[in-house]
Amino acid sequence: MHEMTLVAGILEIAEERAREAGAARINTVTVEIGRLAGVELPSLIFCFETARLGTLAAGAELAVRELPGRGRCPACGAEAEIDFYAALCPACDGCLEVVGGRELRVVSLDVD
Ligand SMILES: [Zn+2]
């Protein structure tokens, strides 16, 4: 499952940062996920709750900040918020290039 791989990566980053900070445990892991990242949030949270066992994040909550998708028109430069890849320019009907919304990153940790 795609989400399980993502969660493994998130936990790896979180544990590494927590160890660097000399933390005994992680309380909250905050991640930013773009709407175009192809991540199913319920599935991601489910995987996190399974995979966190036995790590510094065993009791941690996964806090998710969703980022909107952004598209930019190469023809006329217009920008628009988009929910899917093949979006058309609202100004000239050109094909928008995706310029945001594919993010997936750990932004902060709350540790003890
Ligand atoms: Zn355009």
Q: How far is the CA of 35 from the centre of ligand 1 (A)?
A: 22
Would you give the end-to-end CA distance of the chain in angstroms? 31
Angle CA(28)–CA(39)–CA(51) in degrees, nearest 5?
A: 45
6: in domain: yes
- Using the mean position of ligand 1's atoms as its centre, give its distance from the Cα of residue 80 in Å: 10
Q: What are the CA-CA distances from residue 68 to residues 7, 80, 91 (Å)?
A: 21, 10, 20
Distance from residue 36's CA to the centre of ligand 1 (Å): 20
Looking at the 3D structure of the chain, how many domains does it have? 1
Whether 30 is covered by a domain: the verdict is yes
> Which range of residues forms the domain containing residue 25?
2-68+100-111
Asked if the structure places residue 25 within a domain, the reply is: yes
Rounded to 5°, the CA angle 66-68-74 comes to: 150
In a domain, 35, yes or no: yes
> Model-level pTM?
0.86
pLDDT tens by residue, 24-78? 999 999 999 999 999 999 999 999 999 999 999 999 999 999 999 999 999 999 9
Domain-embedded: residue 42? yes
* Å from CA of 70 to ligand 1 middle: 13
Whole-number Å distance, alpha carbon 87 to ligand 1 midpoint, is 11
